Amino acid sequence: MKDKLFFSGLNELRAFAALAVVFHHIELYKHRLKLSSLYDVSILNNIIGHLGKNGVFLFFVLSGFLITYLLLEEKVVKGNISISKFYSRRILRIWPLYFIILILGFFILPWVYRLFPSFFYGQLYYNERIEQLVYGDNLLLHLFFLSNVALQIFGAVAGVSQSWSVSVEEQFYLIWPWIVSFFSKILLPVLIGIILLMNLINYKIELFNSFPLLKAFLSSFNIDFMAMGGIIAILYRKNKDLVQRLITNRSVIVLIVLSLILHLCCKISNVTLSLSFGLLILLFIENNIKIKLFSELGKWSYGIYMYHPLVMYFSFSFVNKVGITSFIGSNLTLYFLIIGFTILISYLSYKYVELFFLKLKYKYAPITSGNI
């Protein structure tokens, strides 16, 4: 009988993070097409401009928290961490959808674009990315989960550029079980050291100008956010009673909310942003925050994140093709099509593709979790 572990509220947070990225990309796409966008509202520019990255960073902190917690729990319950089983679980969860997106972006979408060029007339940004698509090293980097490097070297691949964060997650998964396994007794100072090192590297990133591939990797390797999630997991495991008393206190809740608002409005630092997201995770867990709709969307959040750029491209092309030009009409249609079809496709993908591999994944899970 496998041990079971479940944290309430994490699916809800995943849904919020995924939808934040979708909202950001819709407004960014409108801005690139010279359409009226919230980017053009000066008071909202900073919030909208960083909303997508902030959604991704929340995903990173969530991953760091849950992966660290589960690995530590496995070490206590089983006596050791099975790294081979960890890799098997991550492969079964991440790889199927990731490679589907690569096939769609590198092969299917360019073929459809060349078959029906008139349908995509006017979508200058995506059309240009498809026409200038580079294979070779670009495709190779994507295949080996270095799309964060490929994005900076070769530019965005239509429908695939969002995969940069999945590559960062895979790079994190590659080293994290080793770190937790070998440094479990001194894990807290090790994670603090990782955060300090990554912030120092980002502060002096120009030192790597002579090594463009390394610079591209280091500047996008946001392991400091995962490390903060790991720190929150360690502190939570050791001090659950204290955390519960603090995180359910109304004054503390207000401070966390104010901190999040401040960080969404202004770019302060990765350390304080990741800490705020970590406290938000604890707030959702300990206050048992449940929102049924977002709980369901959270299950499909990987698909929502991965499919939405492709849905956007077709949706903007459709609105342009049928000639919906009014501000209200075009925006309502765009948001309805993009969010509606993204959720529908993500649900179908989860039910008929991802769930098959998820069932296989649980065979390699010594600590069963409904969160990952």
Q: Can you tell me the mean pLDDT for 27-56? A: 88
The model's pLDDT over 217-259, given as tens digits with 9 standing for 90+, comes to 999 999 999 999 999 999 999 999 999 899 989 999 999 999 9
Q: Can you tell me the mean pLDDT for 93-104? A: 98
Q: Which residues pair with 368 in a beta bridge?
A: 4
Q: Which runs of consecutive H residues, i.e. helices, occur in 183-267?
A: 187-203, 212-220, 223-238, 240-247, 250-265
Q: Can you tell me the mean pLDDT for 186-193? A: 97
Residue 127: pLDDT over 80? yes
Q: What is the pLDDT of residue 372?
A: 64
Q: Which runs of consecutive H residues, i.e. helices, occur in the chain?
A: 10-32, 42-78, 83-103, 109-115, 124-131, 137-143, 147-154, 164-182, 187-203, 212-220, 223-238, 240-247, 250-265, 270-286, 292-299, 301-322, 327-349, 355-361
Q: Can you tell me the mean pLDDT for 177-190? A: 96
Burial class (CB in 10 A: 0-12, 13-18, 19+), 218: middle
Q: Can you tell me the mean pLDDT for 83-100? A: 96
Q: Can you tell me the mean pLDDT for 273-298? A: 94
171 band by pLDDT with thresholds 50, 70 and 90:
very high
Q: Can you tell me the mean pLDDT for 66-79? A: 94
Residue 366: pLDDT over 80? no
Structure tokens at 323: 């000639």
Q: What is the pLDDT of residue 1?
A: 40
Q: What is the pLDDT of residue 266?
A: 87
